Structure 1
Amino acid sequence: MTEAPIGYYVHHHGEGHRRRAMAIAKQAPGRLTLIGTGVAGLQGPFDTLDLPDDRLTGSGFDGEDNACERPDSLHYAPVHHDGVRGRARAVAGWIAERRPALMVVDVSVEIAMLARLCATPTIYVRLAGARWDEAHLDAFRGAQALIAPFDRRCEVYDAPGWVVSKTRYLPGLGAAPASAASRDNVVLVAFGRGGAKTTPEDVTDAAAATPARRWRVIGPMARPLAPPANLDVAGWVDHAEQEIARAGVVVGGAGDGVLSAAAAGGRPFVCVPEDRQFDEQRAKANALKKAGAAVVLPAWPRPAEWPGVLADAEAIDPLRLSSFHDPDGPAKAASFILGQADR
């Protein structure tokens, strides 16, 4: 008897959702179909279903649908949008044709509701932060199980008991490599697709204040007009997690991808959490600070502070940060999902 497929919805804002989905799917060859905008070109032992874009413009996604009226159980539901209509039709059609055992939703309360309306159970991926609005709570209630792609210590203090008891905490889902040898004096500034407020001038001033260090920036930051000789702005790179694992010091926010790669490599980490909905990054940054696992700062340091900040990061026992990563996370997640699908 052929096993029923499993759908895995991949949200298109940020890179962490895609990395998680691919890492998990590789642990369950041939069983998962990755569903989302921009998944058609992904390579691996999985099928894909590319969806029309639901964004109001092509320049980004801020979660705002400009709707004056919306049910409390929805987050993003713009009206008269052909992309939204096409997505719903494609997902419902795939469910009707393939009859999946379940849908993993990472993340969208609307897709979770659509799957349930199509008679399909869900596993919902819970991001960090205080997500206790009605839309999130409805998605959590309707799910067969919840997955949190972060360490249990990153849970917020006011998490409802029933949500915690329904959650499987699975850090290390970013497919980050094992520890690599340090690249002497390189300070790697890593920005994710979710967006950051750090400016080229901020990094230029930091590099100029530490001339004995080499600085390298990866991610979506414009090149400074007059960068110092010790600063390299690389932009997007193909293997960001490998660069993070080799860095002397990593500087970045508390996004899942950067945190997972820094923890997997045991790298000295300077964490400057970025503003996100539901205080997602601050919840993880507070856990790192409480564990003494990283230098956690409320804002980008002044230039004169950088020598001390880097020295403080290098003085931290790397095992403290490594404890926030599980190298077997993708395998455990795949096993959990398959168990839920086949029960």
Structure 2
Amino acid sequence: MTHRPIGYYVHHHGAGHRARAKAIAAVIDWPVVLLGTGLDTAGIDLCDDRPLSGSFDGVDETASRPAALHYAPLDHEGVRSRVAKIAQWIATARPALLVVDVSVEVAMLARLASVTTIYVRLNGDRSDVAHLDAFRGATALLAPFHRDLEMPSTPLWIRNKSRYLPGITPTTPDHLAEDNRILVVIGRGGPPGDGPAIAQAARACPNMQWRVIGPVTATADRPANLDLAGWVNDPAQEIARAGLIIGAAGDGLVSAVLAANRPFLCIPEDRPFNEQLATAHGLGRLNAAVVLDTWPSPDQWPGLIRQAKMLPPQCRKRLHDRDGVDTAARWLAGMAAAAVQELDPVA
């Protein structure tokens, strides 16, 4: 039997979507084609649909936009081109299913093009009309987090339609943690880290070695125990070596921290639909992280570090599935096989 491919749409805001797609594609027993912006030769490269201003939070400001859509700006050549390219690929490749990670518009396009969709449902309050319609139109929902991190307000029908698949992360390096090594992780989806504030934190803990990966603002007086590494090729290696992680509550970082089972001091950032707040509150409720509203003052750091290191490792470990990538791959391959059998029995 010739496999009709699985399409995997990768959103371009933040790094977690692509990391998840690449991890699954590397192990799945089914051909996978990635679709997204900035893929180059790694898949179907789509035109950028972001505003010329460069500011993008997933929602446009068009007054007449239908409630079932988040982002549908008028007369945008990038949007027009990517819709045409996705539709052409669907018509030519006849995919068994399309995983949408994430975009209610691409989910709607796939459904209109008669494709079985699996919608990646991130955490947060997604009770708006557009998300609910995307959830209804999908055959199933992939929730890349443990079910115990679910928001209590999530309706039962959405929970029942969700397959909870924590642990969709690259293989965790086998490193012993260096107890006095603190790693600050700044992701791609938000603003750069506050260099002077991080320098103050390092000065307040002179016996700790601080290392920052990701962008930070300039600091004129960097202490000797602070290393600003910038972007790194393999953040999982950095996380595995650290004795404590400080960062936001994006699903990519949270998954990596849980996979490495490292103490976590979590400072969620403002995101649409309260995605990071929902995850952070869940981690705090389950004693898997110390959660803060804002960056602490220098005098607070020693106590907060001790508090984070005292949290039981088992509280983090149980929220991670070390076979999460393989589990997700088997499930998606099974969904693709079922879709092909139902829609094209002679394939």
Is the TM-score greater than 0.5?
A: yes
Provide the C-alpha distance between the structure 1 equivalents of 2:161 and 2:252, rounded to a whole number of angstroms.
Answer: 24
Structure 1 residue 280: Cα displacement: 0.9
* Structure 2 CA distance for aligned equivalents of residues 253 and 136 of structure 1: 24
Q: How does 1:1-343 map to 2 (within 5 A)?
A: 1-28=1-28, 31-42=31-42, 48-57=43-52, 59-196=54-191, 198-343=193-338
- How many equivalent pairs are there? 338
CA contact (8 A) 2:121 2:144 kept: yes
Distance 2:192 2:303 in 1: 22
Higher mean C-alpha displacement, 145-154 vs 311-320: 311-320
* Cα distance, 1:179–1:324 mapped onto 2, change above 3 Å: farther
Q: Percent identity?
A: 52
- AA matched with 1:214: Q
- In 2: Cα distance, 1:161 partner to 1:249 partner: 36
SS in 1 for 2:259: helix
Name stretches of at least 5 consecutive residues in structure 1 with no aligned partner. 43-47
Task: Give 1:94's aligned amino acid.
Answer: W
**2 CA distance for matches of 1:285 and 1:246?**
23
CA distance in 2, matches of 1:52, 1:218: 29
Measured at CA, do residues 31 and 177 of structure 1 come closer, stay the same or move farther in structure 2, by a change above 3 Å? same
In the alignment, is the contact (CA less than 8 A) between 1:295 and 1:312 conserved in 2?
yes
Amino acid at match of 2:265: V
RMSD over aligned CA atoms reads 1.4
TM-score of the superposed pair, with normalisation by structure 1 = 0.95
**Alpha-carbon distance in structure 2 between the residues aligned to 1:2 and 1:41:** 23
Q: Stretches of 4+ moved more than 4 A in 1?
A: none
Q: What's the secondary structure of 1:188's corresponding residue?
A: strand
- AA aligned opposite 2:148: R
Distance 1:32 1:269 in 2: 34
- Which amino acid in 1 is paired with 2:112? L
